[in-house]
Amino acid sequence: MPESYNDIIGKVKSGDSSAFRIIADEFKDKAYALTIRILKNKEDAEDSLQESFLKLFKAITEGKFEERSKLSTYFYSIVYNTAVDNYKKLKSKRFSIVSIDVDDSDFEEGDDLLKKFYESEISGNLSDSSTEMNTDKKITGKEVENIIRRFIDSIPEQYSVILTMFYINDLSHEEIMEILKLPVGTVKNRIFRAKAKLKEIILKKYSEEEILQYV
């Protein structure tokens, strides 16, 4: 961006509503990617995203955004919560990011379940002596984003939402923890399992050697 977020936020607070367009242009595509993962409908996602931007604009102009957290984290939290609220209204049922098929009752900060999963059948099929599976980003850039975008609709939203946050929105474990209100170890475990599920789908199309370097 040509200006810092602080400068742009200052202009918006001063009444320059046109400066908000810079923020909107910066976040709209990645925010839409997160919204569509939850609502699964173009029109609903567009309406929800517009509502999210209005909430952010009001938060800035009314001084509710106190800049204690990053603007991106603050906004994606609005995007996520707004989409979930709209999902509940439109679908008349509960949306849960937590209901990934894991039992969190017997581990602390993800370590035990991660260790168990390293030893699972999927882990054995997907890893080799030269590739360590973990929740760190292997690479950055369009390679990862293109792969995730292509295959992410093939996995349940409990997986696709958190991977969108991690890869597309480029949020850290700690930022996702803040948005989802989950312990950081649980977030890491969710990402690990979501990546494994995605690999399971992708490896039906690509060889292991082609894809492991990306995810």
Range of lowest pLDDT (3-12, 68-77, 108-117): 108-117
pLDDT in the model for residue 201:
76
Contacts 24+ apart (CB under 8 A), 83-90: 83/34, 83/35, 83/38, 83/39, 83/45, 83/48, 83/52, 84/38, 86/39, 86/44, 86/47, 86/48, 86/51, 87/38, 87/39, 90/39, 90/44
CB 159 within 8 A of CB 198: yes
| Higher pLDDT, residue 102 or 161 | 161
| Higher pLDDT, residue 173 or 213 | 173
CATH number of 5-91: 1.10.1740.10
pLDDT in the model for residue 214:
57
pLDDT digits (tens, 9 = 90+) for 33-73: 999 989 989 999 999 999 999 999 999 999 899 877 789 99
For the chain, what is the largest distance between any 2 Cα atoms, rounded to a whole number of angstroms?
58
Q: Which fold has domain 104-211?
A: Arc Repressor Mutant, subunit A (1.10.10)
pLDDT in the model for residue 75:
96
The structural domains of the chain, with segments of one domain joined by +, span 5-91, 104-211
Distance in angstroms (rounded) separating the CA atoms of residues 176 and 118: 23
pLDDT digits (tens, 9 = 90+) for 119-160: 333 333 333 333 333 445 444 456 666 767 777 777 777 788
pLDDT digits (tens, 9 = 90+) for 158-178: 788 888 999 889 999 999 999
pLDDT at residue 190 greater than cutoff 70: yes
